[in-house]
Structure 1
Amino acid sequence: MRKRNIQIIVRLNHEEQQHLAQQVNKTGLSQEAFIRALISGYVPKELPPLDYHSMIKELHAIGNNLNQLAAKANATGHIDKTVFQYEANRLRKAVLDIQTAVTLPERRDSNGNHCNMGYKRPP
């Protein structure tokens, strides 16, 4: 792990400090990690809602149930594999979309505007 031994002092007025503290608190990061992400061109996302993890857990449970149903149906020959695979893929994509939308930081473009740059996380 790299050492961070260079200290930079930044002076803020009261309003700027309060705004920074509010933004940092929304992300759950330390103030230092928040600022490093911004310097790297990323805007950290807010913490997901409290029920986010339970929603993801529920979606995974549904996926597991689909797999069990598929195995049973495959043994009895009473399911359309193509339709089931399509639905299973939709479920996987939904889980990934929720995770992406809620947890991954967004990249800023050269103008400082937010843009989605895929799955690359800040350094």
Structure 2
Amino acid sequence: MRKRNISIITRLNEKEKNHLATLVKRSGLSQEAYIRHLINGVVPKDSPPADYYAMMKELHAIGNNLNQLARKAHQLNVINVEQYDLAVKEFENAVTKITEAVILPKPMDK
């Protein structure tokens, strides 16, 4: 059974239909998902460039390598834990900000 079983018909002119189709295509969402985002008060962002996911994968690999190095350095007692923790937090914050800026939809202005 479908979660959404209510259908709403909306009439658009050719210009509005083309504009909606352009926005939907740029977002990478289905038309229905795009409209539901708008109804819920958020504007979907354009789909990220193709290399975005490759870059994020690389950043996550770097973070994983940092974690492995930290574990080994901690075992050998050759690391300043506070300084390392601060650097990792900065790295994680940077990844989060990039994700928010590129992927997450933004709330509509009220």
Same fold (TM over 0.5): yes
| Aligned amino acid, residue 3 of structure 1 | R
DSSP 3-state at the match of 1:5: coil
TM-score (norm 1): 0.80
CA distance in 2, matches of 1:72, 1:6: 58
State the alpha-carbon separation in 1 of the partners of residues 40 and 74 from structure 2: 50
Alignment gaps of 5+ in structure 2: none
2: CA distance between counterparts of 1:98 and 1:3?
A: 32
The runs of at least 4 aligned residues of structure 1 exceeding 6 Å deviation read none
Distance in 2 (CA, whole Å) between partners of 1:108 and 1:69 is 43
Deviation, structure 1 residue 25: 0.2
How many residues align structurally? 109
RCO higher in 1 or 2 (8 Å CA, sep ≥ 6)? 2
Q: Which amino acid aligns with 1:34?
A: Y
CA distance in 2, matches of 1:24, 1:2: 22
Counterpart of 2:64 in structure 1: which amino acid?
N
| Residue pairs, 1:1-123, within 5 angstroms | 2-12=3-13, 14-110=14-110
TM-score by length of 2: 0.88
The aligned amino acid for 2:11 is: V
The offset of 1:95, in angstroms, is 1.1
Distance between the aligned counterparts of 1:17 and 1:3, measured in 2?
A: 23
AA aligned to 1:97 is K
> Higher helix proportion, which one?
2
Structure 2 equivalent of residue 113 of structure 1:
none
What value does the CA root-mean-square deviation take over the aligned residues? 1.4
> Which whole-Å CA distance do the structure 2 matches of 1:85 and 1:28 have between them?
37
Q: Once the 2 structures are TM-superposed, how far is the Cα of residue 46 of structure 1 from its aligned partner?
A: 0.8
